[in-house]
Amino acid sequence: MPLWIDSHCHLDAPEFDADRGAVVARARATGVGLLVIPSVEAAHFEGVRTLAHATGQVYALGLHPLYVHRQPSDALDQLARALHEHLGDERLVAVGEIGLDGFVPGLDWATQERFYAAQLVLARSVDLPVILHVRRSADVLLKHLRRAGVRGGIAHAFNGSEQQARAFIDLGFRLGFGGAMTFERALQIRRLAQILPADAIVLETDAPDIPPHWRYRTAGERAQGLGSRNEPAELPRIAETLAGLRGWTLEETAAITTANVCAALPRLAQWLPA
C-alpha cells in the first residue's frame, strides 16, 4: 500500500471531537501515515502540540488570518514564546497556518498584514518553514516573502494564477492540492496540478474543510442533516485525481508527493512510518 502524507489537516477541529481516534485509524488504514496539524489561534497552541504527540503526528504553530481579529493583545508574544520553548521538539515542523485572506468580507486587512509580517519574522528567527493561507492574497504574500527570506514551506490550497504559482516555487515553496482538484469545473486548479513541476506539488485534505466532490453537500442538503465533513482518509482517493491528471501511477504519486512534503518541511521525514 502506498504511503501518503496529509500536509494540512485540522485534526483538532471540534468537528472531530466525537470520533477523533476513529478518524486517525481510518486514515492509517488507507495508507495515510502522517498528518500535519497546523494551529489557528494562540489558545490552541498547546492543544495542537499535545494532540500531535498523542496521535503520532506533526504540527505547526501560527495565527490564522481569519482569526487574528479575536486574538489577545499578546498573541504574537505567545507565539514567539511557544516557538522558542518547543523548538527542540522535532514534531514541530513549521510556523502556520499564517497568511492573508482577501475573500471573506469584513476582515481588517491591515491587521491581517501586520500579523502575517510579524509571523514571517518569527519563522526566520527560528529557521522554520511556513504554511501559508492563500486566498485572493497571493501577490501581497509574495511581496512579504521576498522581504522576509524565510526557508520556504507550503502554499496551502493554492488557487492562484500560473505566474503566481511559479513565483512561490521560485521562493522554495510547494503548493497544496486537495479536494477542490476533484471537481471537474475547477479548471484552473486542475490545469496547475497538471502542468506545474512534479517536485512542486503536495497533497492535503484541509479536513474537516474543502471536501472532495463525493463528500460535497449543497446548502439544502446540509439543512437536511447530510454531512460534508472531510477526513484525512479521503487523501488516497483525492490522489487518484492527481495521478490521472499527471499520467502517474498511484505508487508514483505517493512517492513524489511524499518526497515533496519532506523537502518542504525537513523535520517531518524522521516521523514517516518505516
Domains and CATH numbers, the chain: 4-271 (3.20.20.140)
- Mean pLDDT across the chain: 97
Please state, in angstroms and rounded to a whole number, the distance separating the CA atoms of residues 108 and 213.
Answer: 32
Label the pairing between strands 130-135 and 92-101.
parallel
- Full-model pTM: 0.97
- Annotated binding-site members: 8, 10, 97, 133, 156, 206
pLDDT beyond 70 at 225: no
pLDDT beyond 90 at 158: yes
- Annotated binding-site members for a divalent metal cation: 8, 10, 97, 133, 156, 206
Report pLDDT for 59: 99
Q: How confident is the model at residue 104 (pLDDT cuts 50, 70, 90)?
A: very high
pLDDT digits (tens, 9 = 90+) for 108-131: 999 999 999 999 999 999 999 999
Report pLDDT for 118: 98
Fill in the amino acid letter for 13. Answer: A
pLDDT digits (tens, 9 = 90+) for 235-263: 999 999 999 999 999 999 999 999 999 99
What mean pLDDT comes out for the span 77-83? 98
* DSSP string covering 24-69: HHHHHHTTEEEEEEE--SGGGHHHHHHHHHHHT-EEEE---GGGGG
